[in-house]
Amino acid sequence: MSINNWYYLKDFLFEKNTEDKTEKFTTYVSPYFVPKAYRYGCSKSDNMIVEFKYIDVTENTRKMTHPENHKIYFKVGDKTGRIYKVYLGSSSNECKTMVKYLDDLDKAFENLANKLSDGNKEQYAPTLVATKNCLSKLKCKHS
C-alpha cells in the first residue's frame, strides 16, 4: 500500500455554529470523534484510502459498506464507532476521479450514522469534512 504522511487538521472541526432565530451559539463535538490528522493513498486492490488518526483508543475495526454504492466503504471502530478509514472505488484512472464520489459521501456517511448512532450525523460531521477536504485537494493536485 502506498500512503502519504499524516496531515494534521485544524481545530475548526470541533466547532459547529448554530443560528436560531432568537439566539446564536456554538456547540462542540467530543474530541474523541474528531480526527487529529489524515493521510491518503492507494491500497493493493487499487482503492483510494483516506485514513484518520484520533485520540488513542485500542479497539478492533470492522468493515461497513454503503448499501447503495459498494464503491464506498468504511473501517469503523467496534467500541467507539469512529471511522478509521474510508475506501473509495478504484484509483486506476488517477486519483482525480475520486472527486466524483463527493456527492455519494454525504449519503454514505448519513447511512453509516443511521446504522451506528441512531441517525446522529453530528458525530461523523468532522470526519466527513476532513474526507471532502482531502478529496478536494486531490482534485487541485492532479487536475
pLDDT at 84 over 80: yes
Helices within 16-101 (DSSP H only): none
Q: What is the pLDDT of residue 142?
A: 43
Length of the chain: 143
Q: For the whole model, what pTM was predicted?
A: 0.79
Rounded Cα distance, 95 and 113, in Å = 26
Cell of 136: 478536494
Q: Where are the domains of the chain?
A: 2-142
Cell of 113: 450514522
Helix axes 125-142 and 102-116, enclosed angle (nearest 10): 160
* Residue of 82 and 120 predicted with greater confidence: 82
Task: Report, as an integer, the average pLDDT of 45-54.
Answer: 87
Cell of 31: 474530541
Question: What is the average pLDDT value for the chain, to the nearest integer?
Answer: 78
Task: Determine the number of helices (DSSP H) and then strands (DSSP E) in the chain.
Answer: 2, 9
Say if CB 9 and CB 26 are below 8 A apart: no
